[in-house]
Chains A and B, each alone.
Chain A
Amino acid sequence: MSSESPSSQPKPGASPQSIIVSRVRQLSAKVLGEALEKIAGTILIVTENSVINALEITVGTPFLKERSVEGFGLIQMESPNTQAQNLVFLINPTLPNIHRVMSIAKHTTGKKFHILFIPNELPFCKQILKDNGMANTFSRQITNWHWIALDNDLLTLDMPFVFRYTAVDGDWSPLYFLSSGILDILSVTKPRTLTRILAKGDLSSFVADRILDGLTKSDKRTPTEEDNDLPQINNLILLDRSVDLVTPTATQLTYLGLIDETVGIETGCIQGDFGPEGKKIRFFLRPNDQILREIQDKSFNAVGRSLHQKALEIAEKEKSYKDQTDMNKLRTFVKELEDLTQQHQNLAIHTKLAERTRGIISERRFHEQLEVEQSLFEQTDSIGVGGTTGSSITNAGLGGEKVPNSSAAEYIEDKMGLGVSPWKALRLMSLYTQCCTIKQKVYDNLKAAFVQTYGFHHVHTLWNAELAGILRNPGKESGEAERDKGGVWNYAKTVKNLKAVVDDDDEINPRDFAYTYASYAPISVRLVQYAFSPQRGWGLPAVDDTLRLHTTGEKHTHRLTYNTSVITASSSINLSTLLDPSATTDSRHTTQSQSHQNTTFVSVSTDTPDTLTPLSTSSVTLVVFIGGITYAEIAALRQLQKILNTTIVIATTSIITGSRLCESMKETIRNRLSWNPQMGISKR
């Protein structure tokens, strides 16, 4: 299944995205190889499951074997059993990781220990090691390995903790990784072709500034002849996840989106009993899987038809050789056989995945939930949920007194009573509080029901969720409105301005990208769309009102005015000396076509300009979602790319689902007084 060499060169005539992405992948392989080659002797890589998947996607097993890697160990283990001379901890610099690494080192003897940081070290790591007297136990190295290429146009840092760290803990350090990662992407493209950076949100503005700093330092060289063949990136759009938290909380309805929601996809890998005869397999989503390519972004309802067509095609091809007497045709058939069997296998797996998912979504409760979500999108809170949930239990005694005229609240309480996971419940609450203006009493009742159902420790979860803007406390919201009128989240206005609710699109042959969530076009992707639109572009007051950052996190409110940082290329106001000390006065007044050569960056940040020229669709745009993106949003972006006939490369900190995003709000509480039954059994 891993026949494709991951670092293979793109074919001539490949799309600009795939050239950029494959160059980034080559860069990743290069830095990884260099880091591993510095270690003498055999190696056991100890890391998380997601990194093992990422290695498979980025370099593949033969690459690692050549560099004396003997195998993998999971970082959750106490002490790996191995013959290898070196234990190499290949990890993101997070606190839990450092603690696990120290614990393994304490329990293992006779090995050399190395920590390779993905992508870079943070000062606290050294300090913690020092505090625990282990400063000299490890050799520490940075890898500068930023990106994992999940598809020909999709790069991820695979750091699912970014949203939580930035929105709840106030730790912005991952943004440095993101900034240097983006600079890495720019470094494999033609220098000085990036002319515009659009940023939405605090984190985005921060990253935009870092990138500007980086470019002024590194991008001084003028493009040479050889650079002319390099692909370009002309625009950079940065978006905070907190700009749009509605989208991830809704149920994704594209193929990969629904698979991620139901089965789960970890760093481009699906694990489960989807192999032949129900065998457990690790199935990697590879860009060369033609069937996946066909169906991944489609509405799940269109997937059956596509799979059926593919199955018929493959069946016909497979039968074609039976009565084939012509030796030449037979030879061609045998040549295609490998590809054909690969497709056959992939088809079998996708059919199984689709069947499994179909089983889940054909249940009544799934369609009930969709109905609730869609009525919330349309802000018709009291649509007949009760009418369809004939089976639901009465909510008496669950959430206190019954609240009139808010059946969505009742529905959520019913769900809690039926024992859905806390993250699913929180997700629904999030959608509810974001889409509807609800009464304080209703909100408080929901919170109370949540804590009563799932346990007291979830007080922290709810607190964190409010901080991150996943839950919107109606009381606080209004108080803040008085302080800062610009920063208040107004779903109704946003949806109206962005035309986010579209209820007449076609699932099979969509015109818009609203099919990804059935009747709801992701706000985040609409924002990207309007960056290209002359009529409804960024910066126009009518639209920009709703584009203001919606974070309600108390920590960063002082930054709320810093919402649309627009960095444009301009030859009239010139800071070119920053970039090019040799630039003369004459070269500043260049024509449009020449201005590529003498790109100047002017930060018009903080103040929103009256108008903003729309991005040109003939250029290449890098869209970065800070804090994660859903598979359905990726599908929507690709659909947008088709609509606009432009080129978009997608980069993100991680692929998320609403449930994973909500789960990241949880707090680990160590309470000595709490009774742990397992501890009681294990102790004598």
Chain B
Amino acid sequence: MKVRALALLRRPTVRQTIPDTQVKLERIEYNMDGIPMKQKDIKNLIEFATKLLVARCLPGDIRSLFYPDVNHNFHIVVKPDGRAAVLVADVDYPTQSGVSGAMGLLKDPNNVPNLSREIQRLQDPSEADKFIKLQKEIDEVKMIMVENIDKILERGEKIDDLVAQSEELDTAAKSFYKGSKKMKGCC
């Protein structure tokens, strides 16, 4: 689960698809951990794909696109003012985190974030997404709770044993009515 690249771009605010030459790549930061060779080729490919995809998105779009040639997801946010951010991550990276990560880069129009720091932070998808973080905490609580419920329920007699015991009680029932009158009748 990795974020491969973060990019900040700018495109014209026209509401139509444009040639990718009109998209200006402002800054880009890569994370090439775990890729031993051809790093440069991949970088080029990502750069090209980023521009191409942003060119095809309209201002105000939020998209998560899979680009098969690179085998990565491109999480794209284009603001109505033409600023765009792209978070490139592998397919394991949660879409929700990718989109909110990209959106986080565009939070403040006057302050350009430090991409090299951001890319480190965003490697953990929960960091990217407060919701995911919360969800993770809830899951943890849930797990602990379920464990504790298990412990509580295992205290004392097991319910399965009680089911078996009570069934035995039922089958062992022997009528209290001796029916002596009827017996006398047949003798």
Assess whether A311 is in contact with B157, with CB atoms less than 8 Å apart.
no
Measured in the bound complex, the distance between the Cα atoms of B152 and A333 in whole Å is 13
Chain A residues, Cβ within 8 Å of B177: 374, 503, 505, 507, 518-519
B-facing mask of A310-321, CB < 8 A → 1, else 0? 111011001001
Interface size band for B: 20 to 34
Assess whether A321 is in contact with B169, with CB atoms less than 8 Å apart.
no
Flag the segment in A138-146, A297-305, A436-444 that touches B.
A297-305
In this assembly, does A341 line the interface, its C-beta being within 8 Å of a C-beta of chain B?
A: yes
Residues of A within 8 A of B (CB): 253, 276, 299-305, 307-308, 310-312, 314-315, 318, 321-322, 327, 330, 333-334, 337, 341, 344-345, 347-348, 351, 354-355, 358, 362, 367, 370-371, 374-375, 378, 380, 383, 503, 505, 507, 518-519
Nearest 6 CB-CB pairings of A with B: A304-B170, A304-B169, A518-B176, A307-B166, A308-B166, A276-B156
Assess whether A378 is in contact with B180, with CB atoms less than 8 Å apart.
yes
Question: Smallest CB–CB gap between B186 and chain A, Å?
Answer: 13
A-facing mask of B142-162, CB < 8 A → 1, else 0? 100110010011011101101
Measured in the bound complex, the distance between the Cα atoms of B110 and A589 in whole Å is 97
Partner of A354, one of B169, B180, B184: B169
Given A305-B170, A337-B149, A337-B152, A318 and B159 touching (CB < 8 A)?
yes
Chain B residues, Cβ within 8 Å of A367: 174, 178
Chain B residues, Cβ within 8 Å of A307: 166, 169-170
Assess whether A344 is in contact with B156, with CB atoms less than 8 Å apart.
yes
Interface of B is mostly: helix
In this assembly, does B44 line the interface, its C-beta being within 8 Å of a C-beta of chain A?
A: no
Partner of A253, one of B152, B153, B176: B176
Measured in the bound complex, the distance between the Cα atoms of B184 and A337 in whole Å is 55
Assess whether A308 is in contact with B169, with CB atoms less than 8 Å apart.
yes
Assess whether B178 is in contact with A519, with CB atoms less than 8 Å apart.
yes
In this assembly, does B138 line the interface, its C-beta being within 8 Å of a C-beta of chain A?
A: yes
Given A276-B156, A312-B163, A304 and B173 touching (CB < 8 A)?
yes
Assess whether A311 is in contact with B178, with CB atoms less than 8 Å apart.
no
Measured in the bound complex, the distance between the Cα atoms of B154 and A322 in whole Å is 14
Sample of 7 more A-B contacts, CB < 8 Å, known A304-B169, A310-B166, A348-B157: A307-B170, A334-B149, A347-B166, A355-B165, A383-B184, A503-B179, A507-B175
What would be 6 A-B contacts, judged by CB atoms less than 8 Å apart? A276-B156, A307-B166, A308-B169, A315-B162, A322-B146, A367-B178
Question: Smallest CB–CB gap between A683 and chain B, Å?
Answer: 49
Chain A residues, Cβ within 8 Å of B172: 304, 358, 362
Given A334-B145, A341-B152, A276 and B169 touching (CB < 8 A)?
no
Assess whether B169 is in contact with A327, with CB atoms less than 8 Å apart.
no
Measured in the bound complex, the distance between the Cα atoms of B156 and A375 in whole Å is 44
Assess whether A276 is in contact with B157, with CB atoms less than 8 Å apart.
yes
Shortest Cβ distance from A367 into B: residue: B174
Chain B residues, Cβ within 8 Å of A318: 153, 159
Chain A residues, Cβ within 8 Å of B174: 301, 362, 367
Measured in the bound complex, the distance between the Cα atoms of B180 and A303 in whole Å is 24
Measured in the bound complex, the distance between the Cα atoms of B172 and A351 in whole Å is 13
Assess whether B156 is in contact with A345, with CB atoms less than 8 Å apart.
yes
Shortest Cβ distance from A383 into B: residue: B180
A-facing mask of B83-103, CB < 8 A → 1, else 0? 000000000000000000000
> Which residues, 35 to 69 on B, are CB-close (under 8 Å) to A?
none
Assess whether A503 is in contact with B181, with CB atoms less than 8 Å apart.
yes
Partner of A315, one of B152, B163, B173, B178: B163
Assess whether B173 is in contact with A330, with CB atoms less than 8 Å apart.
no
Assess whether A348 is in contact with B176, with CB atoms less than 8 Å apart.
no
Measured in the bound complex, the distance between the Cα atoms of B19 and A49 in whole Å is 95
Shortest Cβ distance from A303 into B: residue: B169
Shortest Cβ distance from B138 into A: residue: A327
A-facing mask of B108-142, CB < 8 A → 1, else 0? 00000000000000000000000000000010001
Chain B residues, Cβ within 8 Å of A304: 166-173
Chain A residues, Cβ within 8 Å of B181: 378, 503
Chain B residues, Cβ within 8 Å of A355: 165, 169
Question: Smallest CB–CB gap between B60 and chain A, Å?
Answer: 33
Question: Smallest CB–CB gap between A315 and chain B, Å?
Answer: 5
Shortest Cβ distance from A301 into B: residue: B173
Assess whether A351 is in contact with B166, with CB atoms less than 8 Å apart.
yes
Measured in the bound complex, the distance between the Cα atoms of B160 and A370 in whole Å is 34
Chain B residues, Cβ within 8 Å of A308: 163, 166-167, 169-170
Question: Smallest CB–CB gap between B67 and chain A, Å?
Answer: 32
Chain A residues, Cβ within 8 Å of B157: 276, 344, 348, 351
Assess whether B162 is in contact with A370, with CB atoms less than 8 Å apart.
no
Assess whether B180 is in contact with A351, with CB atoms less than 8 Å apart.
no
Shortest Cβ distance from A314 into B: residue: B159
Assess whether B176 is in contact with A299, with CB atoms less than 8 Å apart.
yes
Question: Smallest CB–CB gap between B8 and chain A, Å?
Answer: 37
Partner of B142, one of A253, A330, A370: A330
Partner of A311, one of B159, B171, B173, B180: B159
Question: Smallest CB–CB gap between B65 and chain A, Å?
Answer: 29
Of A300, A348, A371, A505, the most chain B CB neighbours within 10 A belong to A348
Chain A residues, Cβ within 8 Å of B176: 253, 299-301, 370, 507, 518
Measured in the bound complex, the distance between the Cα atoms of B179 and A519 in whole Å is 8
Shortest Cβ distance from B182 into A: residue: A503
Shortest Cβ distance from A276 into B: residue: B156
Measured in the bound complex, the distance between the Cα atoms of B175 and A314 in whole Å is 28
Question: Smallest CB–CB gap between A366 and chain B, Å?
Answer: 10
Assess whether B171 is in contact with A351, with CB atoms less than 8 Å apart.
no
Assess whether B156 is in contact with A321, with CB atoms less than 8 Å apart.
no
Assess whether B166 is in contact with A348, with CB atoms less than 8 Å apart.
no
Assess whether A311 is in contact with B153, with CB atoms less than 8 Å apart.
no
Assess whether A358 is in contact with B152, with CB atoms less than 8 Å apart.
no
Shortest Cβ distance from A325 into B: residue: B142
Chain B residues, Cβ within 8 Å of A334: 145, 149
Shortest Cβ distance from B155 into A: residue: A276
Measured in the bound complex, the distance between the Cα atoms of B166 and A302 in whole Å is 11
Given A311-B159, A330-B142, A341-B153, A371 and B180 touching (CB < 8 A)?
yes
Chain A residues, Cβ within 8 Å of B171: 304
Question: Smallest CB–CB gap between A138 and chain B, Å?
Answer: 45
Assess whether A344 is in contact with B169, with CB atoms less than 8 Å apart.
no
Assess whether A315 is in contact with B180, with CB atoms less than 8 Å apart.
no
Measured in the bound complex, the distance between the Cα atoms of B168 and A341 in whole Å is 23
Of B157, B169, B180, the most chain A CB neighbours within 10 A belong to B169
Assess whether A380 is in contact with B180, with CB atoms less than 8 Å apart.
yes
Question: Smallest CB–CB gap between A355 and chain B, Å?
Answer: 6
Question: Smallest CB–CB gap between A306 and chain B, Å?
Answer: 8
Measured in the bound complex, the distance between the Cα atoms of B176 and A362 in whole Å is 11
Measured in the bound complex, the distance between the Cα atoms of B182 and A383 in whole Å is 12
Measured in the bound complex, the distance between the Cα atoms of B169 and A358 in whole Å is 7
Given A344-B153, A503-B179, A311 and B146 touching (CB < 8 A)?
no
